[in-house]
């Protein structure tokens, strides 16, 4: 007898049981859902190893939820606006990303809208519910991943929010200033993206982007503002026709000895601004004590305390104070030189 005969017939490899295959599929689905705010597509569930009947059984028994067609959510996972937004992105065609106010919320610039806002490719089908649909062509650098959700880049997000008229006036100022003060992008990049979008637009979209161009006036040159209130103060000064405020002004006495440093001031008028707020840390003046304040005033400088009420359109206190100072400091406000009155190309 041969060795093969003595050892008996060879054992066939053991086939995986159905239970083992299900456990493997469950693990794969868990990994996928953990990266997508507990959500997944039915295609992802099938790829993990589940059949159509097995998916239907889990939905019927409440183990999974199906908020929209083609998208599943693990039951019991905490509900959040991020999960709702992720569901909208998965429900859309390939290339769907969070955009507009939803993308702004991902960057911490505003609250999330009640309905997720997403952008889909121009010719893709956008027939899915529970989301506001925009269409747009997104090129290289126009998208990124934020909090595990695909979305438009910071610059593209601000441009689209402005172009769609979702934020206007001071709300647009705050959106721009917050994004740039958070250093989500370089000011030059947003200025370039806004200018290109304005030049390529027509009609209502072009008119809306003109507001963004004006909001960016204070960011086009010079040292960038250190906080949203500082940027708003700069806009007010430009609107009123005063010289652009400088940052980090150092004050020295007659002997060249350092006295103080101010975050914001107008050197021509010898005015320093101190912003009074618990929310932001600038603009403010480094004034350690009353003696230093007196010394600054002896050198001919005036410190003006500014709060959020002074920066409101209806408040005239700050403007009136500057007008009184300009009479003694030989600075004549010239509204004809407002940057906000120039066209986008001139202001650039």
Which range among 3-12, 96-105, 150-159, 180-189 shows the weakest confidence by mean pLDDT?
3-12
Dist. CA 153–CA 189, nearest whole Å: 11
Query: 347 in a domain, yes or no?
Result: no
Residue 258's domain comprises: 228-340
The DSSP call for residue 248 is E
**Average pLDDT estimate for 4-30:** 72
208 vs 162, 168, 204, 287, CA distance in Å?
Answer: 6, 8, 6, 42
- What average pLDDT does range 249-272 have in this prediction? 86
Q: What is the pLDDT of residues 78-99, one digit of tens each?
A: 999 999 999 999 999 999 999 9
Can you give the CATH number for the domain in which 36 is found?
1.10.10
- Is 40 part of a structural domain of the chain? yes
Q: What is the pLDDT of residue 220?
A: 82
Q: Are residues 60 and 139 in the same domain?
A: no
Q: Domain check: are 233 and 273 in the same one?
A: yes
Q: Which two tokens stand for residue 66?
A: 């199906």
In this structure, are 59 and 167 located in the same domain? Answer: no
For residue 26, give both structure tokens.
Answer: 């469950």
User: Do 48 and 169 lie in a common domain?
Assistant: no
What burial class does residue 293 get, using C-beta atoms within 10 Å of its C-beta: 0-12 exposed, 13-18 middle, 19+ buried?
Answer: middle
CA distance 221 to 130: 42
How many CA atoms are closer than 13 Å to the CA of 212, on its beta-carbon side? 31
Residue pair 243/331 in contact by the 8 Å Cβ criterion:
yes
Nearest to 274 by CA among 299, 243, 301, 307: 307
DSSP H/E element including 118: strand 117-120
The residue with greater pLDDT, 234 or 347, is 234
Which whole number is the average pLDDT over 261-276?
Answer: 84
- Residue at 246 is within a domain: yes
Is the confidence at residue 9, as pLDDT, over 70?
Answer: no
| Token pair listed for 164 | 């769609």
Mean pLDDT, residues 8-15: 55
Is 267 found in the same domain as 152? Answer: no
pLDDT at 172 over 60: yes
Tokens 């405020």, located at residue: 245
Banded pLDDT at 130 (limits 50, 70, 90): confident
* Domain contains 223: no
Residues 206-230: pLDDT tens digits? 999 999 999 998 888 766 777 888 8
| Number of domains comprising the chain | 3
Give CA separation, 79 vs 39, 67, 246, in Å: 11, 12, 47
Identify whether residues 66 and 89 lie together within a single domain: no
Kindly state whether residues 176 and 210 are assigned to the same domain: yes
Both 247 and 164 in one domain: the answer is no
Q: Which two tokens stand for residue 57?
A: 């059984």
Q: Does residue 345 form part of some domain?
A: no
90 shares a domain with 210: yes
Residues 231 and 178: their CA atoms lie apart, in Å, by 10
Predicted TM-score (pTM) above 0.85: no
Is residue 269 situated within a structural domain?
Answer: yes
Q: Note the pLDDT of residue 201.
A: 93
Of 180, 215, 250, the position where a domain reaches its end is 215
DSSP per residue, 294-314: HHHHHTT-EEEEE-GGGGSTT
Cis peptide before 283, with omega less than 30 degrees from 0? yes
The answer as to whether 220 is a domain residue is: no
CATH number, domain at 322? 3.40.960
C-alpha span between 259 and 256 (Å, rounded): 9
Residue 201 and residue 87 in one domain: yes
pLDDT tens digits, one per residue of 224-260 = 777 888 888 888 888 888 888 888 888 888 888 888 8
Residue ending a domain, among 160, 188, 215, is 215
Average pLDDT, the chain: 85
**2 falls within a domain:** no
CB 201 within 8 A of CB 209: yes
Q: Are 204 and 132 members of one domain?
A: yes
What does the alpha-carbon distance between residue 119 and residue 10 come to, in Å, rounded to a whole number?
59
Residue 48 shares a structural domain with residue 152:
no
**DSSP assignment, residue 16?**
P
Give yes or no for a contact between 115 and 132, defined as CB atoms under 8 angstroms apart.
yes
Domain final residue pick, 27, 52, 77: 77
């Amino acid at each position: 007898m041969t060795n093969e005969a003595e050892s008996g017939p060879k054992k066939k490899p053991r086939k995986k049981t159905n239970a083992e295959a299900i456990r493997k599929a469950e693990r794969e689905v868990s990994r996928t859902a953990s990266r997508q705010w507990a959500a997944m597509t039915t295609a992802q569930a099938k790829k993990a190893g589940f059949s159509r009947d097995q998916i239907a059984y889990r939905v019927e028994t409440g183990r999974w939820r199906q908020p929209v067609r083609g998208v599943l959510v693990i039951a019991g996972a905490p509900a959040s606006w991020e999960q709702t937004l992720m569901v909208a992105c998965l429900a859309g065609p390939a290339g769907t990303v969070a955009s507009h106010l939803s993308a702004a919320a991902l960057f911490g610039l505003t609250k999330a809208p009640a309905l997720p806002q997403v952008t889909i490719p121009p010719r893709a089908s956008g027939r899915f519910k529970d989301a506001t649909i925009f269409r747009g062509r997104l090129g290289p650098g126009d998208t990124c991943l934020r909090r595990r959700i695909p979305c438009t880049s910071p610059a593209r997000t601000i441009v689209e929010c402005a172009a769609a008229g979702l934020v206007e006036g001071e709300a647009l100022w705050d959106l721009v200033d917050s994004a740039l003060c958070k250093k989500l992008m370089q000011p030059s990049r947003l200025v370039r993206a806004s200018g290109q979008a304005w030049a390529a637009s027509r009609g209502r979209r072009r008119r809306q982007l003109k507001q963004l161009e004006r909001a960016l006036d204070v960011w086009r040159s010079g040292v960038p503002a250190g906080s949203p209130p500082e940027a708003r103060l700069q806009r007010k000064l430009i609107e009123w026709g005063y010289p652009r405020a400088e940052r980090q002004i150092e004050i020295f006495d007659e002997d060249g000895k350092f006295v103080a440093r101010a975050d914001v001031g107008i050197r021509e008028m010898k005015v320093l601004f101190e912003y009074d707020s618990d929310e932001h840390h600038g603009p403010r003046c480094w004034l350690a004590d009353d003696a230093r304040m007196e010394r600054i005033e002896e050198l001919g400088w005036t410190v003006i305390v500014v709060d959020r009420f002074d920066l409101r359109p209806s408040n005239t206190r700050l403007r009136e104070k500057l007008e009184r100072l300009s009479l003694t400091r030989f600075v004549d406000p010239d509204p004809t030189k407002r940057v906000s009155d120039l066209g986008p190309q001139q202001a650039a």
